[in-house]
Amino acid sequence: MRIRKLGLAATTMLGFGLLAGCAKTGDIAEGGITAVRSACPRVGVAAHTGDVTLFNSPTSRDANAIDVTAVLTNVTSICDDAAENIQTTINFEVLGSRRFGSEARQVTLPYYVAVVQGGSSVVSKRLGQVTLNFAEGQSRASATGTSYAIVSRSAATLPEDIRRQILAKRKAGDETAAVDPLARPEVRQAVLRATFEALVGFQLTDEQLKYNATR
């Protein structure tokens, strides 16, 4: 069982900037020492969904109309890779702030966890909710959320012929010695198909997503 804690003050780029995982004996180093494969999905936050802004007017996006803001941070993951179905439990914190009001108030925010294959294909998506409880007279509140993602071990495992190409020893002076195996299209595509991410973020409306992307 692997435990990861990922500092996610910034969101990863959609496409997707991966956060480093844990290496162990037998993992395949691809692209030299720049990446280490694991059957566990790498955990991150998709671009533009790591924060949300609520307005007190349905038509205004002026700064003076901001009601509540929240950011998703302190993401941790525990990956249980002992079985065929690899389950990753994802925990995170939501930090909220409100501009107006002194009365106690609850604000419920929807979130999602999506399993992405090959950097672009969403193979599953789970929805949940987290509630911020603003105490009387307080402008800040926090809450925690938990969800999980499941990946099939067979889907996250490289075919044996691809493994052999990546791990093949190359002697200095050989014609193929200076050729990166990932430069071969069939190897690159196989690695991409076997690469999974578990991305967490707020479930935003089209208008909220547009606001995050263009502000």
Confidence grade of residue 80 (pLDDT, cut at 50, 70, 90): very high
**Strand locations in 51-192, DSSP E?**
51-55, 66-80, 85-98, 105-117, 121-134, 140-152
Tens-place pLDDT, residues 132-152: 999 999 999 999 999 999 999
Q: Which two tokens stand for residue 51?
A: 């924060």
- Which residues neighbour 134 within 8 Å (Cβ) at sequence distance 6 or greater? 96, 98, 101, 104, 105, 106, 107, 140, 141
Q: pLDDT value at position 115?
A: 96
The separation between CA 170 and the C-alpha centre of its own chain, rounded to angstroms, equals 35
**Three-class DSSP category at 5:** strand
State the helix-helix crossing angle for 160-167 and 185-193, rounded to 10 degrees. 120
Tens-place pLDDT, residues 18-45: 333 344 433 444 444 234 467 899 999 9
Could you tell me if 45 and 12 are in contact, meaning their C-beta atoms sit under 8 angstroms apart?
yes
Tens-place pLDDT, residues 86-119: 999 999 999 999 998 889 999 999 999 999 998 8
Q: Point out the least confidently predicted range of 6-15, 67-76, 166-175, 206-215.
A: 6-15
